């Protein structure tokens, strides 16, 4: 169960909203890691060419149960702002320790609390989740590329997000889980290109045979 601001708690599934989404688990008062990851993600989404609300939502979940609604609002204002398309569809969520633990387990996200510095050590991960709640991809939170996050959302959208060219590009790009990014797959592109060439030749031969038959039998 997670809540937005001071609103009542809602089941995690309530927040999915029927479109792919980006999920980030963050310490709302952290300035060393969480802030730049959130800013880079928001910038990448803004530059991706996709439409916030229609193509995706961004959710940021606090991993420290002590953080307040004011802490969440302050982080959003500092790193995303309160105006613009991405900001309008960014939801800051909080939950108790059990809710955060459940979500972390589902995502495979693990944080270690440092009592001395009141900070959490955790991976810089950006989770791409399909509309049905399935985890589609895990992207690196550092140096996040707008095209990577676009391809990940197109892939998670199952044909409902992106253009035809995006889906063609997905055929030529492979996801590298070690880097958390997409790479151009030369062998896959050559296979697709060869298939298209064979298909084009088959169509051309078919047209030539049809023309020849028409000329022979007026």
Which pLDDT value is given to residue 157?
A: 87
Render the burial of 17-32: b for 16+ CB within 10 Å, e for the rest.
Answer: eebbbbbbbbbbbbee
Instruction: With cut-offs at 50, 70 and 90, classify the pLDDT of residue 174.
Output: low
Cα–Cα distance measured from residue 202 to residue 5, given in angstroms and rounded to the nearest whole number: 61
pLDDT reported for residue 190: 40
pLDDT at site 28: 92
Given a cut of 60, is residue 142 above it in pLDDT?
yes
- pLDDT value of position 188: 45
- Give the C-alpha separation, 104 to 135, whole Å: 12
Whether residue 194 has pLDDT greater than 60:
no
Higher-confidence position of 11 and 153: 153
* Residue 62 near residue 72 (C-beta atoms within 8 A): yes
Q: Are strands 125-129 and 3-4 parallel, antiparallel or unpaired?
A: unpaired
92 pLDDT band (50/70/90 cuts)?
Answer: very high
Please check the confidence at residue 4 and state whether its pLDDT lies above 50: yes
45-79: pLDDT as tens digits: 999 999 999 999 999 999 998 899 999 999 999 99
Percent helix, strand and coil across the chain, each rounded to 5? 45, 20, 35
Query: Which of 14, 7, 24 is closest to 80 using CA atoms?
Result: 24
Q: Is the pLDDT of residue 94 over 60?
A: yes
Structure confidence at residue 191 as a pLDDT band (50, 70, 90) = very low
Confidence of residue 160 (pLDDT cuts 50, 70, 90): confident
At 200, the pLDDT band (50, 70, 90 cuts) reads low
Mean pLDDT along residues 183-195: 49
Is the pLDDT at 87 greater than 90, yes or no?
yes
174: Cβ contacts below 8 Å, ≥ 6 apart: 182, 183, 185, 188
Evaluate if residue 192 carries a pLDDT over 50: no
Q: Enter the CATH code of domain 3-184.
A: 3.40.30.10
The domain ranges of the chain are: 3-184, 185-218
Can you list the positions of beta strands (E) in 38-179?
A: 57-62, 90-94, 112-114, 119-121, 125-129, 135-140, 173-176
């Amino acid at each position: 169960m997670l809540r937005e601001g001071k609103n009542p708690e809602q089941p995690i599934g309530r927040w999915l909203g029927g479109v792919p989404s980006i999920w980030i688990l963050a310490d709302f008062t952290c300035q060393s890691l969480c802030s730049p990851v959130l800013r880079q993600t928001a910038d990448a989404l803004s530059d991706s060419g996709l439409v916030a609300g229609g193509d995706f939502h961004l959710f940021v979940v606090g991993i420290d149960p002590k953080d307040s609604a004011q802490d969440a609002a302050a982080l959003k204002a500092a790193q995303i702002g309160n105006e613009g398309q991405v900001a309008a569809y960014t939801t800051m969520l909080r939950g108790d320790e059990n809710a955060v633990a459940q979500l972390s387990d589902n995502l495979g996200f693990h944080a270690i609390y440092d009592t001395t510095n009141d900070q959490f050590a955790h991976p810089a991960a950006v989770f791409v989740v399909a509309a049905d709640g399935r985890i589609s991809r895990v992207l690196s939170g550092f140096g996040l590329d707008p095209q990577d996050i676009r391809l990940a959302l197109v892939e998670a959208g199952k044909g409902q997000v992106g253009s035809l060219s995006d889906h063609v590009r997905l055929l030529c790009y492979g996801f590298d889980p070690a880097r958390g990014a997409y790479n151009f797959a030369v062998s896959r592109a050559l296979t697709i290109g060869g298939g298209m060439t064979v298909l084009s030749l088959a169509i051309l031969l078919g047209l030539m045979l049809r023309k020849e038959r028409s000329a022979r039998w007026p």
